[in-house]
Amino acid sequence: MARIDLDLAHSYKADPRQDSDYALLPLAMSFDDGGAYALLGPSGCGKTTMLNLISGLVRPSQGTVRFGGHDVTARTPQQRNIAQVFQFPVIYDTMTVAQNLAFPLRNRGVSPERIRARVGQVAEMLELSGQLDQRAAGLAADAKQKISLGRGLVREDVSAVLFDEPLTVIDPHLKWQLRRKLKQIHHELRLTLIYVTHDQVEALTFADQVVVMTRGRAVQVGSADALFERPAHMFVGHFIGSPGMNFLPASLLPSAPAGAATLGVRPEYVRLLHADETGALPAQVLQVQDIGTYWLVTAHIGTAADGHTVRLRLDPEAAAPRAGQRVWLGLVGPHTCYYGTDERLIEEQGA
Amino acid sequence: MKPVNQKAWWLVLPVVICVAFSAVLPLMTVVNYSVQDIISPERRVFVGTEWFAAVMRDKDLHEALLRQITFSLAVLVVEIPLGIALALSMPASGWKSSAVLVVVALSLLIPWNVVGTIWQIFGRADIGLLGAALKGLGIDYSYTGNARDAWLTVLVMDVWHWTPLVALLCYAGLRSIPDAYYQAARIDGASKFAVFRYIQLPKMRGVLMIAVLLRFMDSFMIYTEPFVLTGGGPGNATTFLSQYLTQKAVGQFDLGPAAAFSLIYFLIILLLCFILYNWMQRVGTADKTEAGHG
């Protein structure tokens, strides 16, 4: 167990020339010992690359990986003592469930009694106890993935456990259950867990710290709350939340701080105002959808040719406007964020 | 009950006709011969199972069968592990893999009688590379004079000719293993042998089964190469079943016994393939036999 420090860049090409040649642009990042992290981002953003760099399956083309201060860049996954679970179940066909779970321990020469005890515990945690003597090859996909998870968790002394979208093949209801299980295991074992996903709900419920990535860059590291309330980059605002943040030119509002190019406000924080209130912007309602727990209202500010679409979430108790109706929107509040031309958040004084 | 449309049977009819003409009718002719003594086209006597009984008592046949089984087993024992080893050592990608594939496949492109001729010359002590080299080393080698040498030469020739097939099948099997398995094995700290034993070998099971069956059937029917190389000699040392059959049917024109023997030959191959197939189906899938590794 150790703190993991990355200071590196990686390109799968031999001779990277421009930013797009890099799978991972130069970055410096730390994962604290015992933390639960999620790497969140769309497909191809470099999150799996980062995971493989940490585990040692891939060597960075530049820079170093440090575990607890020691440079482990040149070490193999085995030497780094990393456990990793992959997107699709990997099981050893000819072995039983118990033998599969025991495999990482057996390869490291752990004593048979110790192996039996650990396999028993892990099987218990993952509710595989009843299937220990069955052949793993004959099981359903979710049971196979539980075995893969189990092999990741069976060693107690690992530096970190890495998960690469491990719940992709799992049924939704089981997904939720397994995620809770992982969280619980994290609390019990205090292992460093790093979890790659493109599902924000998964990331936000699993991790204490979420690393949001896009196009080879880690744009923000923060708690679920920080990512939601103060997205450090417009991409975070857009990617986190359902629907994502509304972005409008800051010039719409005279009160915007200097240097702000764009204003961002979450659909949850857009308010319906009266015409005479300060800051009320006139808008035309385009569509009203009943999403069950809230109304999703799509409105249009400005003229048809030069206008901006704004989404807002309204309480189901509230009287929802009708499509075509004219409304006044309040966009400015304590939760409103301003972004510069570089798409990064402008930190406000005391906001 | 739901009415069943029987018209679909008509769609199968062309296949039935084809199979009838290509397989069933010729086979029936053989059955016909095997139960008659044909003295002349006008005079034929029904003899029942007499030919079968005679063939079963034939000592030469017993020897040929034993020789054949020994040969086929030797072929499997050598070619399968060698093919696997070859496939494992072949490069996985890039131009090298294409080049190696072509080179490995070369021997498969050579007609069988040419293979026999190549080895016939190759093994000659006066002008052949192999024969002359062995002679130069002071080894007394002659595939025409020494029964053991002849048998070994036929075996080595078959290995040279057909191991590439096993290698190509295994290679295809190996390439179909997703990368994640190797990554997981690295994470799990598996040794090279463990990777082979628990990932590569189980994943190659399907192609290996095909390889074993193909090599078994083909080697059990081997005819052309030993015929060209040794002509079945010296003595009967390399007279395998199909050559023995040809001697009977074409050489001595004993159509009755030859037909009876053909049917027995056919049934032996069928039976042995059935046994092999079922045995291999069970290897690696049985729950209990593998449970001792925990």
- List CB contacts (< 8 A) between B180 and chain A: 86-88, 90
Q: Would residue A351 count as lying in a domain?
A: no
Question: Global pTM?
Answer: 0.78
The candidate with the shortest Cα–Cα distance to A52, out of A9, A7, A84, is: A84
The pLDDT of residue B174:
93
Instruction: Tell me how far apart the alpha carbons of residues B127 and B121 are, in angstroms, rounded to a whole number.
Output: 7
**Comparison of pLDDT for A210 and A172, the residue scoring more:** A210
Instruction: Tell me how far apart the alpha carbons of residues B170 and B283 are, in angstroms, rounded to a whole number.
Output: 17
Q: Mutating which of B183, B188, B205, B280 best tests the A interface, going by the most A Cβ atoms within 10 A?
A: B188
Q: Radius of gyration over alpha carbons of chain A, in Å?
A: 24
Mean of the per-residue pLDDT values of chain A: 85
Contact B150, B234 (CB under 8 A): yes
- Full domain range(s) for residue B269: 54-163+209-284
How far is C-alpha A33 from the geometric centre of its chain's CA atoms? 19
Q: Would residue B25 count as lying in a domain?
A: no
Q: Would residue A349 count as lying in a domain?
A: no
CA atoms within 13 A on the CB side of B160: 15
pLDDT tier at B291, thresholds 50, 70, 90: very low
Instruction: Tell me how far apart the alpha carbons of residues B222 and B214 are, in angstroms, rounded to a whole number.
Output: 12
CATH of the domain at A84: 3.40.50.300
Sign of CA dihedral B121, B125, B126, B129: positive
pLDDT tier at B288, thresholds 50, 70, 90: very low
| Residue ranges with strand state E in B130-255 | none
Contact A15, A22 (CB under 8 A): no
Instruction: Tell me how far apart the alpha carbons of residues A228 and A250 are, in angstroms, rounded to a whole number.
Output: 20
User: Which region among A26-35, A45-54, A272-281 has the lowest average model confidence (pLDDT)?
Assistant: A272-281
* Helix/strand/coil for A86: coil
- List CB contacts (< 8 A) between A57 and chain B: 183, 186-187
Q: Is A271's pLDDT higher than 50? A: yes
- Where among A238, A265, A297 does a domain terminate? A238
Q: Would residue B257 count as lying in a domain?
A: yes
The pLDDT of residue A14:
81
ipTM of predicted complex: 0.79
Q: Would residue A73 count as lying in a domain?
A: yes
Co-location of A160 and A85 in the same domain: yes
Co-location of A212 and A314 in the same domain: no
Label the pairing between strands A24-31 and A36-40: unpaired
Query: Hey, are the CB atoms on B180 and A88 less than 8 Å from each other?
Result: yes
- Give mean pLDDT, residues A292-321: 82
| Residue ranges with strand state E in B6-153 | 36-40, 43-46
- Give mean pLDDT, residues A307-318: 83
Q: Mutating which of A55, A92, A164 best tests the B interface, going by the most B Cβ atoms within 10 A?
A: A92
CATH of the domain at A313: 2.40.50.140
For A278, other C-beta atoms within 10 Å of its C-beta total 8
List, as one string, the DSSP characters of A179-239.
Answer: HHHHHHHHHHH---EEEEES-HHHHHHH-SEEEEEETTEEEEEE-HHHHHHS-SBHHHHHH
- Where among A169, A204, A238 does a domain terminate? A238
Co-location of A106 and A251 in the same domain: no
Q: Is B292's pLDDT higher than 70? A: no
Co-location of A260 and A182 in the same domain: no
CATH of the domain at B115: 1.10.3720.10
Instruction: Tell me how far apart the alpha carbons of residues B36 and B259 are, in angstroms, rounded to a whole number.
Output: 10
% of residues, chain A, pLDDT over 90: 5
Q: Is B289's pLDDT higher than 80? A: no
Query: Hey, are the CB atoms on B199 and A92 less than 8 Å from each other?
Result: yes
Instruction: Tell me how far apart the alpha carbons of residues B82 and B95 are, in angstroms, rounded to a whole number.
Output: 23
Residue with tokens 């598996």: B190
Q: Is A138's pLDDT higher than 50? A: yes
Distances (CA, A) of B285 to A90, B277, B289: 18, 13, 9
Q: Would residue A301 count as lying in a domain?
A: yes
What the block records as the tokens of A168 is 């992709």
pLDDT tier at A71, thresholds 50, 70, 90: confident
- Bridge partners for A82 per DSSP: A160
CA atoms within 13 A on the CB side of B101: 14
Phi, psi of B229 (to 5 degrees): -70, -55
b/e for B148-157, b at 16 or more Cβ within 10 A? ebbbebbbbb
Mean of the per-residue pLDDT values of chain B: 86
Q: Would residue B238 count as lying in a domain?
A: yes
Contact B283, B208 (CB under 8 A): no
The candidate with the shortest Cα–Cα distance to A41, out of A296, A233, A261, is: A233
What the block records as the tokens of B55 is 């063939």
- How many domains does chain B divide into? 1
Among chain B, residues having any CB pair with chain A shorter than 8 Å are 178, 180-181, 183-184, 186-191, 194, 198-199, 202-203, 284-285, 287, 290-291, 293-294
Q: Would residue B151 count as lying in a domain?
A: yes
Instruction: Tell me how far apart the alpha carbons of residues A345 and B4 are, in angstroms, rounded to a whole number.
Output: 71
- Bridge partners for A313 per DSSP: A296
Phi, psi of A88 (to 5 degrees): -110, 145
Residue-wise pLDDT tens digits, B191-223: 999 999 999 999 998 899 899 999 998 898 888
Residue-wise pLDDT tens digits, B123-172: 888 888 888 888 888 888 888 888 888 888 999 999 999 999 999 999 99
pLDDT tier at B1, thresholds 50, 70, 90: low
Q: Would residue B217 count as lying in a domain?
A: yes
Contact A251, A245 (CB under 8 A): no
Q: Would residue B182 count as lying in a domain?
A: no
Q: Would residue B130 count as lying in a domain?
A: yes
- Where among A238, A262, A278 does a domain terminate? A238
Q: Is A304's pLDDT higher than 70? A: no
- Full domain range(s) for residue A95: 4-238
Co-location of A102 and A205 in the same domain: yes
- How many domains does chain A divide into? 2
Q: Would residue A346 count as lying in a domain?
A: no
Co-location of A12 and A148 in the same domain: yes
Q: Is A335's pLDDT higher than 80? A: yes
Co-location of A209 and A68 in the same domain: yes
Q: Is B101's pLDDT higher than 80? A: yes
* Helix/strand/coil for A160: strand
The pLDDT of residue B109:
92
- Give mean pLDDT, residues A113-135: 88
The candidate with the shortest Cα–Cα distance to A333, out of A285, A258, A264, is: A264
Residue of B nearest to A55 (CA): B187
Q: Is B40's pLDDT higher than 80? A: no
- Please give the order of strands across the beta sheet that includes A82-85: A82-85, A160-164, A193-197, A36-40, A209-214, A217-222
What the block records as the tokens of B205 is 């099971």
Query: Hey, are the CB atoms on A99 and B294 less than 8 Å from each other?
Result: yes
- Give mean pLDDT, residues A295-310: 82
Q: Mutating which of A90, A135, A157 best tests the B interface, going by the most B Cβ atoms within 10 A?
A: A90
- List CB contacts (< 8 A) between B294 and chain A: 96, 98-99, 102, 115-116
Is the previous residue joined to B3 through a cis bond, with omega within 30 degrees of 0? no
Q: Minimal Cα–Cα distance from B290 to chain A, Å?
A: 7
